[in-house]
């Protein structure tokens, strides 16, 4: 096993410091714990802190390891980007400055092994998964906007929906290829779970309850309980700023910006924005629509969804935005929000 990821046996509960920060400080780097379960023939893998500023999964894992509970099957708990997480102030760095986003390094980490520490950690995690042949992989994250907890996966299979249901009621069916961990796991159901906003108590509670359910449940993939429904949202379009445009988040038009978006826009995550609703203000320097909306085929669909009415940018048709970021830098370089289609409701058969 690579020294990029240190794999330990289950700690005795007394060996895990009570303070999660002391636990983090004591780690030598990316770390995993293999906790023996009642059924040793099966294994589940949970990963946390691929992003150093998303601590809910780590806090849940710390509490769970301290509890000393024997899981239903073997559990492997991974804490990935320890180096980024503990940069001062703790839990504020997504990645180590100047280095790659770890959750974009799983595209083909085997090609880049040894090139940088992130690729080596990614490689070691995939190696561990290959070796252990788990029945499920769940990667726990937070996000920057207000969202309900939701899972992201490449295939809305019954198994993936059952994993999603341990944490929330939404499954985002993604077709994006970003180099994320879940894209690299094909041997078993794998989902990313976004439990809510970093630093939010509700997000920490969801991570904790979901992790316990995930590791302590005998049969993970039984049909969902009656009345439990997971909504499948297909994620075909990504909205971002056109090149060279400036975005400002504020409550009124900022004439220096090409686009001003309300700074509480994330209240509308997972809600339908009706036709005619104002989604932002367009500044005088903008001759066109400042947003582009790229579909799976790479076409810009902005003109189908948005129109300019004087200084307002207005929805031409209803749409549901998810994963709205309130960070103008991310919105400009990566994505402001995704537009989803509601596929169908899944419920117990």
CB 59, min distance to Zn ion, A: 15
Both tokens of 274, joined, read 């009706």
Q: Is the peptide bond before 89 cis (omega within 30 degrees of 0)?
A: yes
Site for Zn ion in 7-46 (CB under 5 A): none
End-to-end CA distance of the chain: 42
- Which lies closer to Zn ion via its Cβ, residue 180 or residue 220? 180
Per DSSP bridges, beta strands 136-143 and 190-197 are parallel
Rounded CA separation 197/201 (Å) = 9
Stretch that binds Zn ion, among 52-60, 204-212, 320-328, 332-340 (CB under 5 A): 52-60
Candidates 49-57, 115-123, 145-153, 245-253; binding stretch for Zn ion (CB under 5 A)? 49-57
Q: How far is the CB of 286 from Zn ion (least distance, A)?
A: 31
Q: Minimum distance from CB of 263 to Zn ion (Å)?
A: 22
Closest CA to 36 of 76, 67, 85: 76
SS3 for 79? strand
- Show the site string, 244-263: x = touches Zn ion by CB under 5 A, - = not: --------------------
Indicate the residue among 198 and 346 with the shorter CB distance to Zn ion.
198
Min separation Cβ 54 and Zn ion, Å: 5
User: Which residues 182-241 are close enough to bind Zn ion by CB under 5 A?
Assistant: none
Least distance from Zn ion to the Cβ atom of residue 102, Å: 9
54 vs 135, which CB is nearer to Zn ion?
A: 54
Non-local (6+) Cβ contacts of 2 within 8 A are 120, 123, 124, 127
Using the minimum distance from each CB to Zn ion, give the nearer residue, 84 or 273: 84
Binding residues with Zn ion: total (CB under 5 A):
3
Q: 3-class DSSP state for residue 62?
A: helix
Instruction: Report how far residue 331's alpha carbon sits from residue 61's, in angstroms, rounded to the nearest whole number.
Output: 30
Give me the least distance between CB of 75 and Zn ion, in Å please: 21
Least separation in angstroms between CB 333 and Zn ion: 16
Rounded Cα gap, residues 49 and 54, in angstroms? 6
Residue 248: which residues within 8 A CB-CB, separation 6 or more?
254, 256, 257, 259, 260, 261, 328
Window 113-142: residues binding Zn ion (CB under 5 A): 141
Count CB neighbours of 284 within 10 A.
Answer: 11
Nearer to Zn ion, 141 or 268 (CB): 141
Toward Zn ion, which CB reaches closer, 50 or 214?
50
Q: Please, what is the minimum distance in Å from the beta carbon of residue 207 to Zn ion?
A: 13
Cβ distance to Zn ion smaller for residue 51 or 123 = 51
Nearer to Zn ion, 43 or 198 (CB): 198
- Site for Zn ion contains 51 (CB under 5 A): yes
234 near 192, Cβ under 8 Å? Answer: no
Are the CB atoms for 164 and 148 separated by under 8 Å?
no
Based on CB atoms, which residue is closest to Zn ion, 238 or 258?
Answer: 238
Beta carbon of residue 198, minimum distance to Zn ion (angstroms, whole number) = 9
Could you give the C-alpha distances from 252 to 54, 248, 262, 279, in angstroms and in order? 30, 10, 7, 12
Rounded to 10°, the helix 56-67/201-216 angle is 50
Interface with Zn ion (CB under 5 A): 51, 54, 141
């Amino acid at each position: 096993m690579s020294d990029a990821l240190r794999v330990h046996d289950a700690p005795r509960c007394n060996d895990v410091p009570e303070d999660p920060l002391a636990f983090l400080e004591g780690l030598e780097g990316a770390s995993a714990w293999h906790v023996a379960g009642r059924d040793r023939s099966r294994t589940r893998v949970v990963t946390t802190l691929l992003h150093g500023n998303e601590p809910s999964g780590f806090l849940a894992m710390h509490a769970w390891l301290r509890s000393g509970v024997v899981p239903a099957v073997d559990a492997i708990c991974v804490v990935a980007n320890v180096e980024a997480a503990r940069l001062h102030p703790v839990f504020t760095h997504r990645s180590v400055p100047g280095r790659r986003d770890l959750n974009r390094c799983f595209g083909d980490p085997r090609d880049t092994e040894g090139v940088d520490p992130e690729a080596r950690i990614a490689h070691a995690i995939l190696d561990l998964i290959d070796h252990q042949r788990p029945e499920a992989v769940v990667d726990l994250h937070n996000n920057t906007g207000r969202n309900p907890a939701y899972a992201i996966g490449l295939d809305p299979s019954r198994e993936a929906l059952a994993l999603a249901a341990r944490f929330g009621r939404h499954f985002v069916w993604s077709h994006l290829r970003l180099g994320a961990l879940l894209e690299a796991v094909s041997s078993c159901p794998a989902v990313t779970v976004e439990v809510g906003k970093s630093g939010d108590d509700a997000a920490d509670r969801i991570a904790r309850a979901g992790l316990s359910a995930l590791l302590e449940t005998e049969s993970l993939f039984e049909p969902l309980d009656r009345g439990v429904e997971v909504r499948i949202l297909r994620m075909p379009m990504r909205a971002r700023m056109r090149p060279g445009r400036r975005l400002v988040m504020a409550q009124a038009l900022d004439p220096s910006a090409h686009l001003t978006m309300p700074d509480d826009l994330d209240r509308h995550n997972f809600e339908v924005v009706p036709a005619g609703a104002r989604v932002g203000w367009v500044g005088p320097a903008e001759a066109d629509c400042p947003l582009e909306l790229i579909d799976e085929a790479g076409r810009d669909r902005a003109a189908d969804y948005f129109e300019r009415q004087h200084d307002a940018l207005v929805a031409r048709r209803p749409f549901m935005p998810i994963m709205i970021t309130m960070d103008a830098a991310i919105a400009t370089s990566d994505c402001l929000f995704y537009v989803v289609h509601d596929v169908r409701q899944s419920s117990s058969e």
